[in-house]
Amino acid sequence: MTRGEDDQIQSVVQQLLSRLKADSRSSSAIARLAAVSQPTVSRMRRSDGKCQRVSKAFNKLCNFYNVPIPAMSKASHEYNELLREAIIDAWDGTEAGGRALLVVIQGLKGLKKPDDIAGESLDHI
C-alpha cells in the first residue's frame, strides 16, 4: 500500500470510527444491521483508529454508514493476493498448523517496518 493509500484509509477509519461512536445503538444491534460480528463492532468502537486493516467487515461497516471507501491500487491488490496465497501455501490445513501460523504472523507485529529501517545499516544482520 502506498503512503497516499495509507493516508486515505486512515481518513476512512477516522470517519467510520466517529460514526460508530456517535451511534447510540448497541454493538449487537449495529452488528446485526451491518451483517458483521458484534466483537468486530466493539473492537472498532474501542480502537483509537490506528492499525486498522481493510477487511470485508470493515467494508460492510463503511457501506452501512455510507463512508466512501477509496479504491486500492492494482499493486496493493496484487500484493494482498500474494500475501493471501503465501499464507494458504504455508498452512497445512490442520487446526494446530493454523494456530502455529497465527502465532508467527502475530509475532511479526513487533518487527520494524521497512520504512522504520530505511537508512539503517544491515551490517548487524
For 76-118, the pLDDT digits (tens) are 667 777 888 888 888 888 999 989 998 988 888 777 665 555 5
The mean-pLDDT minimum among 1-5, 9-13, 34-38, 105-109 falls in: 1-5
CA dist., res. 125 & res. 122, Å (int): 6
Give the domain ranges of the chain: 3-64, 74-115
Residue 122 has what pLDDT? 46
Average pLDDT of 15-21?
92
CA dist., res. 125 & res. 121, Å (int): 9
Supply the DSSP symbol for 23: -
Confidence of residue 4 (pLDDT cuts 50, 70, 90): low
Question: Helices in 47-94 by DSSP H: which ranges?
Answer: 56-64, 74-90
CA count, 13 A, side-chain hemisphere, 7: 3
